[in-house]
Chains A and B, each alone.
Chain A
């Protein structure tokens, strides 16, 4: 094994993201594709942000019921510029309360100490909103 650091997760913020009605797309070899409009929300924690009404989660719903999450949406980070949240991960069938996990990258000119960092998000989905905690990988 190589002398690589062991990753640690440090909580930095909680996010609430409002989502719209799914838009069905097509059937692909991996499953059924749909778009989830991202319509707003808030990030509150060590740094704050406002989710803008311009994003989308390109989901693939698989035969086993799991959902691949591939979301991109703009977030205006307080004291900084607008970045794109790039969230990729999975929600598993059988998790009745909609538990999911993604990685999270911030694309764009994020403020010092916020950008050029990999995050992990874990949370839950309800009908009209998604709530998650954001952890920095250190």
Chain B
């Protein structure tokens, strides 16, 4: 038996503007290639979080011969109040006939701070946009979870 639920709502919580450098090719074959794209900095701005992207992370991406790119970025953010937040962001890029590319990820955040506990208590979707070869912007949306009495709240 199939139950159809209403989709949970999503809220834009911040935008990450990531600076990247030229890809380093790790392996190359007829079915695609693996590359490392260094992340060298950036900013975080939005209603729920402000900060900077720390240099030293990167995107271990797979460019498939069928035109799909698998994203797996791992890097750090430091909030304006000095808390370091780990970002593990996986997803896909692919072309869409007659439209904008599908460039969507599901970032997972790790942080040891009560102030930012909401980052570990939600599921997030990243709507990605390649500004140019050196900049990627990510609109990060929090997925509102199924609620019960006493459930989690973005405002707490």
Chain A residues close to B by CB (< 8 Å): 1-11, 14, 29-30, 44-45, 64, 66, 68, 86, 88-90, 92, 94-97, 99-105, 115-118, 120, 122-124, 133, 135, 137
Contacts and interface: CB of A to CB of B under 8 A. Distances in A.
B129 A4 contact: yes
Contacts of B128: 4
Given A4-B137, A45-B2, A122-B146, A135 B7 contact: yes
Most buried by A among B7, B91, B117: B7
* B-side interface mostly: strand
A7 B121 contact: no
Interface of B: 2-5, 7-8, 10, 15, 68, 70, 90-92, 94, 100, 102, 104-106, 108, 110, 112, 117, 120-125, 127-129, 131, 137, 139, 141, 143, 145-148, 150-152
A101 to B, nearest CB: 4
Contacts of A133: 3-5
A90 B119 CA distance: 10
A6 B127 contact: yes
10 contacts: A10-B7, A14-B2, A44-B2, A64-B117, A86-B90, A88-B108, A95-B148, A101-B145, A105-B106, A118-B92
